[in-house]
Structures are given as structure tokens and as C-alpha cells.
Structure 1
């Protein structure tokens, strides 16, 4: 005899199950975080492997070459950024003292215009060196996660070898052995393309920012370039967070003029990359609203820590793409979207797919 549940009871059961699942993920974050990083790296590298296969390079050779590049680049970057972090940590008290002096000077100029502000009280509420300290703390905590580098690397290797057969396994697992469900392929392709394109755009952003800061003579430019690369995965908010410590350091070290040029470099780079380059290759169908970006940052950061904050938007994008793949859950994806045009685009694309599927069946 099948029991019938009221709609309110169903909602309650779903919410209770969700709480249990999230509590389990948070408790197992030491295992989940390296696994998520491995998936992220493997999916970002997968297009390179596929590109090499087009030139008839054996998959084993291409995987080994990609892993070697990751290891060489990772060790070089870790050494350079690590040295920059150590130097910055040693000089941080001096930077903070100069920054407080600059802050006090600005408050004094405001008082000259009869804008009365108590310096000591304001500094007790707003520490101007906190943003710089937060940036280094973010990179330090990320470095703690990467102590499992060998484990992550091994998982990436096995994932890259299994990537070719993975789509067929998904079809079979979902009872679609003849691979007729196009939503599955659309989901896998969208996630892979999103992660690959976002990684390339983030690399470009970090490279341009690093060269710009080096040309201006700002100290520890590699540190701020790495921060810009990592936080570029968080649109809108990430670019602001990455710019603040670099601009403050330029203000302390080189004065207001260079600080203004530093801020201008961040604004121009993120505007070009975020509004021209990225939409050109990624399309409009992957946008998230600013509110969803901010809430996902809080949620994934609470659930998975620093890595969750950095991967908050990619993880939310994967959830959104998954909702887009099904007719019944598409309304949830629309709630996460940045505007109201995506649903019509998706419905139009579904009509094309159905027409193509009908033509295939007619021809058979």
C-alpha cells in the first residue's frame, strides 16, 4: 500500500534531507574539498586533452604532458608567490603604519572642511590594513589546502584518463544506454566549457594585472596577480576584493597618483575581460544575478571554507546548468539568472532540438 503525503510534508522532508546532506558535506570537508579541486582542474584541462587528440596524439601522452605542465607551473608559482608572501608579511607592520598615517591625513583634510570625524573612533571601527591582511590570509589558507597536492594530482590523472568514457557511463547510469537524452550531453558540455573558458579568462586577467603592477613598480605584484586570478572566478565582487589591497599598497608605497593608476588598471582589465572577452566565448546563457553571486559566496564559504569561496560561482553555475537541463526544474535556473531573457532562449533551443530529433526519427 502506497502512502500519500501532503505537499507541506513533502517540502518538510526535502528540507530535512537537505540539512542532513549539507551537514554531512561540512563534516567531510577535508575529503570533499580536495575532490572538488580535482574535478575543477580536470574539467579545466579536458579541452586541452581533446585538442591534442584531434592531432592524433595518444591520450596517455597528452595527459602526462598536461600534468607535467601543471606541476612545473605550480611549483614555480608556489615558489614565487610564497617568497612574495613572506616579504609582504615581514613588511606588513610598516605598511600598516604608513596606511594609518595616510588615513589620518585624509581625516585631517576633511576636518578642514568642517566635516568632523573622530580619528581614533573611526580607526577602531575601520582598520585600513585589514583588507591587506585578509588577502594574505586567503592565500595562506588556500596554501594549507594545497598541502594535499600529490593526492589532488593523482585524482586529476585518473579523472583525465576516465574522461573519455565518463559521458557514456552517465547515460548508462541514468538508464539511457542508447545516448538519446540530449540534456545529459548539454549539461556535461556546458559545465566543461564554462570551467575551461573561465579558467583561461582568469589566467588572462591575472597576467594583465601582474604586468600592469610590475610596470607601475608596485611591490609584490605576483601576489596581487595571483589574487586577481583566483578571485576572478567570483564576478562583480571578486574584482573589487582583489583590487583593494593592491591599491592600498600602491597608495602607501608610491602615492595617490600611482594608486589611481592601479585602480584604473583593475577597472579596465575586469571591464574588458568580464564584458567583452568572456561573453564573446561563453555566451549570455550562463549569467548569474549579483544577489545570487553574493549569497553563493557566503553559502559555499560557510560550507567548504576558503576553497568554497573561490569555487562558489563555478559550483553555483554547475547547479544552474543542471536545473536548465530539465523542463521541470528550469524555473529554478531562471530565478538564479541575471535577467529574464534566458528562459526564452532555452525554450527556443529546446524547440530546435525537438525538431532535429523529430527529423532524425522521420529519416529512420
Structure 2
């Protein structure tokens, strides 16, 4: 008599990849390149759309608060729109007015720049530099080019508001959709909890990042503006606004914000005043933006310093100045759509700097899945 078959007791062989993993990685990288190229080609549309989305997320609590108070839905929507319009027109109008004042002020510094160049020529001559070399090095420096460079920096900031009417139209439509968004997300949570969790993580992280950056930006703007006013640097309000806006640019924002006032301080008060501006800006912004603020931002968004800097480089190249301002929220959206939405890829959060879940860590170590992973696997 033959022995009973043991096929039923034999474990099934592990599933093999139909496509090599290396090829999957290459295909993913190729798809990423195509996607980034498409975003860059349509940056004039993608940038304002995402700006409108960020502003909608920022003011959504106003609609929720109005609903809890029993206000009509349209009244909460109107209150949120008024808040956004006030912010946009307030910042944009102040920047535009200050830029006009700057353009009318710079030509008055032509004589001071020529005097400064004469001192530089004399100093180089004392060092033994020939007159031809001095002329070649300094011939291209004039107030017109300095003014053009400063206006170019401000123009990049003002370019954020160039599609203002398009952004306002998008805000109106998104605010209307926001009236029923809570019910829609509740339906998604019942059918696809992992997707709802990823979207909620994106919205929560973005809102925390905007709050933290706004609070610290206001603090930096007040301190920088007050310091410039005490030192007698012209247009301190303009440079305070620039400090506030560039605070949303991670890692290198304050460097961009200090260059225009430092150049104007050089023309107005000479090298000593310029050095004081640079030193005071560096001290203030290093303490606030490099020591204090990253702690709160890191806790809010869960991104490492390297990822933050790379996101700035990539999004600034793709979307320009607007991409630099919105680099962190854009990266959070990509993270939510590619990593958080799939329980099997959430391990990558540890590699990009997200804080580890202390409660879920022991379960992973013992081979068990976290509750969120289990819920997502049931999908």
C-alpha cells in the first residue's frame, strides 16, 4: 500500500517576482523622470493650483469652526475666502508698494557707488593689482545692475502673485467643494482606510507646517525689521516682509532674504553697515531658523534635513520660486501618494526621516503588523 501523499502538508513555495526588482526600480525612476518633466512643462498651471490647495487647507478650520457654531455652510465658506483674500492682497500689495519705492530710491545711490568703487580701486592698487585688471574686474559694476538684481529677486517673490485671479477662482471652487469634503472623506475612510489615513496625514502635516512656518516667520520678520530700522537701513518694512516670505523656503531662505538689504546697506552706509546687517541677520536667523524652528517643523512633517534640502532643489527647479516656497507641502503630498497610501511601503518613512512609532515598533520587531497595516491589508 502506498504512503499517503504529503503534498497538502508541504508549504507552498514562496512567490517569485515575475519582473526583476532591479527592473522595477528602473521603471519607477523612468516614470518619475517623465512625471517631473510633465510638471515642469505645466508649471504655470500646477504651481497656482497647488498654492490654492495649500491656502484652502490652511483656512479649512474656519469652515469647520463655522459649522460647529451652527452657521450656514455658505457663511463659513465666505469667511474662509475673505481670510485668504485678505492675506493675498495684504502681502502682495505691501510688496508691490515697497518694490516701487525701492525702484525710485536706488538711482540716488549712484554717486555713493562710484565713491565706493574708487576706494576699492585704491585698495587694489595698494595690493599691487594692475590698473587693467582693476578696470576689467570693476567695469561691469553699476547701480543699474545692482538695482536690476534686487528687482529680479523681488520679482521672483512677486511672481507668486502673478496668477492672482486664477488662484482666487480656484480658491472659490475649492471652498465650495470643501463644504462637503468631510462627508466625502468619511466615505473614503469606510471603503479604503489606508487611503483616508494617507490623505489625513498629508492635510495634518501640511497644516502644522504652515502654522509653524507662519509663526516663526512673523517672529523673524518683526526682529529683522526692527533691527534694520534701528540701524537706519532704508525700507525696513519691505525687508521684513521678504524675511517672512523666505521663511517658508527651507534651509536657505534667510540667505535669500539677507542679500537685498545687505546690498542696500552697502550703498547707504558703506561696508560697515553691510557687515552689521549680515551679522545680525545671521545670528537671529541661525538661532530661530536653524536651532529652534527645525525641531517644530521636523515634529510636524517627519522629513529629514537631507530630504528637506533635496525637495527644495527639485521643486524650485520644477516650479520656480513658487516651488521653493511650497517645497515641503509638495513633498508631503508625494509622500502621502507614494508611501503612506500603501501599508507595504510605510517602512520607507524611517529612511526619509519620519519619527518612528514607538507603539508600533515592538510589533514590527516580533513579526506582527501594526493595526494600520492590518487595516490596509484587508483592502
TM-score bracket for this pair, using the shorter chain length: 0.7 to 0.9
**Is this contact kept in 1: 2:316–2:324, CA < 8 A?**
yes
- Match in the other structure for 1:348: 358
- Match in the other structure for 1:200: 215
Unpaired runs of at least 5, structure 1: none
- Match in the other structure for 2:38: 24
State the alpha-carbon separation in 1 of the partners of residues 300 and 339 from structure 2: 10
Query: What SS does structure 2 have at the residue aligned with 1:35?
Result: helix
**How far does the alpha carbon of each residue in 1:255-307 deviate from its partner, in whole angstroms, 9 at most, with x for none?**
34443443344234323432565356545464655554444333222221221
Unpaired runs of at least 5, structure 2: 1-16
- Match in the other structure for 1:146: 161
Cα 1:180/1:248, change in 2 over 3 Å = closer
Cα 1:178/1:295, change in 2 over 3 Å = closer
> What are the residue-to-residue correspondences of 1:1-364 with 2, within 5 Å?
4-51=18-65, 58-95=72-109, 98-99=112-113, 101-102=115-116, 105-106=119-120, 108-109=122-123, 112=126, 114=127, 116=129, 118-123=133-138, 133-144=148-159, 146-163=161-178, 165-166=180-181, 169=184, 172=187, 176=191, 182-275=197-290, 278-279=293-294, 281-284=296-299, 286=301, 288=303, 291-320=306-335, 325=340, 328-330=344-346, 332-337=348-353, 342=354, 345-351=355-361
**How far does the alpha carbon of each residue in 1:47-83 deviate from its partner, in whole angstroms, 9 at most, with x for none?**
4444555555555334323422433443344333223
State the alpha-carbon separation in 2 of the partners of residues 283 and 164 from structure 1: 31
TM-score (norm 2): 0.73
State the alpha-carbon separation in 2 of the partners of residues 205 and 16 from structure 1: 41
Query: What SS does structure 2 have at the residue aligned with 1:346?
Result: coil
Cα deviation, residue 239, structure 1: 0.4
CA RMSD after TM alignment: 4.1
Cα deviation, residue 248, structure 1: 1.6
**Is this contact kept in 2: 1:191–1:321, CA < 8 A?**
no
State the alpha-carbon separation in 2 of the partners of residues 327 and 115 from structure 1: 68
Cα deviation, residue 315, structure 1: 1.9
**Is this contact kept in 2: 1:34–1:148, CA < 8 A?**
yes
State the alpha-carbon separation in 1 of the partners of residues 251 and 139 from structure 2: 28
State the alpha-carbon separation in 1 of the partners of residues 264 and 325 from structure 2: 23
Cα deviation, residue 136, structure 1: 2.4
TM-score (norm 1): 0.76
